[in-house]
Structure 1
Amino acid sequence: MTRFNAPRRAALAAAALLSLGLGAPAALAQAWPAKPIRLVVNFPPGGAADQLARMVGQPLSEALGQPVVIENRAGANGNIGGEVVAKSPADGYTLLMSSGGMVSINPHLYPKMPFDPAKDLVPVAAIARVLVYLEVKPSLPVKNVQEFLAYLKANPGKLSFGSPGNGSSPHLAAEMMKAQTNLYAVHVPYRGAAPAMQDLLGGQIDFMFDPGIGLQHVKSGKLKLLAVGSPKRSPLFPDVPTLEEAGLKNFDADTWFGFYAPSGTPAEVITRVNREVNKILGTPAIRERITAIGGVPAPMVPADFGARASIDGVRFGALIRARNIKGD
């Protein structure tokens, strides 16, 4: 029988405790998720971010074996919901579903952000590239982009357009159009795309750059679709021209929607969510649902998702400064 002296026994005990301590993060990561996950959507119900969150949330819940509970926290062009998540525990149980604009656009709109999206949040998984569609109310006497721009020129300041808020991608799309054409229309900001769409359908506003939620109304004849504010035509409407084809150079108002998490969230958790989301985006049913609202599924690794926000920040930031656009 081998005998150990007291110092040797103490050293072995310390080594055992150290090995347990080193194994704790891995064990915690393996145990995740052990309870429901809160998915904060920083825009109101019915908008593009909300619809995408609900499309992906249910299959993600099934993949993770825990409920994914969606919570809408709208306001300040996404800042309110973004702040909620940025200041939540970085334990993998709070995620954010947002437009990329909160990261790439808002820092240019708000001189005093309540948090720093680039430092306090980390990209997890892109969901979709969201296009914007130039739609007008049926009573507007135009049939194409050229007639629409001519009508705007003949009626300066008499037409109004809605958006989900100051600095939102639909708003910036309209500002791109106005800047290139030197035309003027009145901007009416709303607290989300859904209420703006309701007023367009009701005739209270004349046109809107729609992030896809109104395409069902285009198909039913309640709205007229004139163009797409994207570098490429929409696969859903291949016969509808882009604004660049209509003469507006380098017109690109696309944004990338996806999941973010508080900085410090375990890398294992981010990798797991990214992997599961990318699998979900590869299923025909989800691809069809995203395409139906005019988006393009966009599976990618977190680093590429973050890089997209940086690229968009440069081009949208230049437009915001040139047009002197301020946050709500």
Structure 2
Amino acid sequence: MRLARRRFLQLAAGAAGVPAFSKLTRAQAYPAHPIRVIVGYTPGGSADLTARLMGQWLSERLGQSFVIENRPGGGTNIATEAALRSPPDGYTLLLAAPANAINATLYNKLNFDFLRDSEPVAGLIRFPNVVVVHPSVPVKSIPELIAYAKANPGKLNMASSGNGSTIHMSGELFKMLTGTNMVHVPYRGGAPALTDLLAGQVHVMFDNIPTCAEHVKSGKLRGLAVTSTTRSEVLPDLPTVADFLPGYEASAWYGISVPKNTPADIIDRLNKETNAVLAAPAAKERFAELGAFLLSGSAADFGKLLADETEKWGKVVRFAGVKVD
């Protein structure tokens, strides 16, 4: 009887240790094969570049390939749904972007709820837009832009890369806080919008810094201010919009999300390795060249950013009265 009881206690003790051992083994074994990163944008843009840089650096740390899969279309909703419907095993990552926060209010019907159906892993970078005007527009500062727009309601055309884009929403937030009336002109992407701005076909744009910084430096466009709360090292002479309009902040950001129910130990591993990459000099230098600020931090930190941005841009979308079916 004593032997049987002793054996039972040994087996019970062993069974109690299985869950912890399994988690440890899984975390150590992960990743066992290549990981795909789904990006809701075309190749060549800032989102694609960010995903490829992070994929390369994470591959070096984790010893597996990171395959970048571009799935543009539907305002990033096609890519987001594909990622969230994937098995929650850590082998499908989504490059999360402001569109995920904006679309929650912008679209009447989505097949997913991003905050409900995803798990945050880590923030990557954040970079501001820059308020630029064609040189023919007679303004040289944010106060002058506000005054001119109020004196000429509906006469300034504000270009964007499309309804609900960060470029569009940056402008709508500006209009909301200043009470100005600029006519929104959406394009199918930032490149054609910028082309028309350079040609003087439109007047104002809240463009991404990596895209238009060289045009500002060359004088082809007039930069008025950056949309972050601090100045940009890429355009250090420009003030911030918030210097003249307290409470204004608009920026693009990228991070990593995974499908709901992805094991916590895998999320922890990805978060740890991502933060290690962002702490490395190579990442700091490369992203600084793009005018980006590093985010890093815990998964919970990125989750808070997602929730805050969803609430913030929801208010702007409702103010602008923009809806996409």
Which TM-score applies when normalising by structure 1? 0.86
Q: State yes or no: 1:162 paired with 2:159.
A: yes
Which digits, 9 at most, give the CA deviation of each residue in 1:76-109, with x for residues without a partner? 332221111000111111101121441x322122
Which digits, 9 at most, give the CA deviation of each residue in 1:268-306, with x for residues without a partner? 221122112112212233222222222211111110111
Q: 1:38 to 1:192 in 2, by over 3 A?
A: farther
Deviation at residue 49 of structure 1 after TM alignment: 1.9
Query: What are the within-5 Å matches in structure 2 for residues 95-110 of structure 1?
Result: 95-102=93-100, 104-110=101-107
Residue 26 (structure 2) aligns with: 28
Residue 315 (structure 2) aligns with: 318
Query: What are the within-5 Å matches in structure 2 for residues 87-102 of structure 1?
Result: 87-102=85-100
Residue 278 (structure 2) aligns with: 281
Residue 70 (structure 2) aligns with: 72
Q: 1:47 to 1:163 in 2, by over 3 A?
A: farther
Q: 1:13 to 1:237 in 2, by over 3 A?
A: same
1: CA distance, partners of 2:189 / 2:266: 30
Q: 1:195 to 1:67 in 2, by over 3 A?
A: farther
Which digits, 9 at most, give the CA deviation of each residue in 1:101-145, with x for residues without a partner? 41x322122232211111211111101122121112344343322
How many aligned residue pairs are there?
323
Residue 244 (structure 1) aligns with: 242
Residue 216 (structure 1) aligns with: 214
3-state SS of 2:286 partner? helix
Residue 152 (structure 1) aligns with: 149
Which TM-score applies when normalising by structure 2? 0.86
Q: 1:263 to 1:50 in 2, by over 3 A?
A: same
Q: Please, which of 150, 170, 174 is the counterpart of residue 177 of structure 1?
A: 174
Which digits, 9 at most, give the CA deviation of each residue in 1:163-207, with x for residues without a partner? 233222221211122223332222222344344334434544322
Deviation at residue 326 of structure 1 after TM alignment: 1.6
Residue 230 (structure 2) aligns with: 232
Q: Percent identity?
A: 45
1: CA distance, partners of 2:294 / 2:19: 41
2: CA distance, partners of 1:311 / 1:10: 52
Matched-pair contact (CA < 8 Å) for 1:230–1:253: yes
Q: State yes or no: 1:143 paired with 2:140.
A: yes
Q: Please, which of 304, 307, 310 is the counterpart of residue 307 of structure 1?
A: 304
- Range that drifts further, 84-93 or 182-191: 182-191
3-state SS of 1:131 partner? strand
Paired AA for residue 187 in structure 2: Y
Deviation at residue 226 of structure 1 after TM alignment: 0.7
1: CA distance, partners of 2:56 / 2:324: 33
3-state SS of 1:244 partner? helix
Deviation at residue 75 of structure 1 after TM alignment: 2.6
Matched-pair contact (CA < 8 Å) for 1:127–1:259: yes
Deviation at residue 9 of structure 1 after TM alignment: 9.7
2: CA distance, partners of 1:126 / 1:274: 9
Paired AA for residue 175 in structure 2: K
RMSD: 3.0
3-state SS of 2:210 partner? coil
Matched-pair contact (CA < 8 Å) for 1:130–1:257: no
- Range that drifts further, 182-191 or 307-316: 182-191
1: CA distance, partners of 2:92 / 2:247: 37
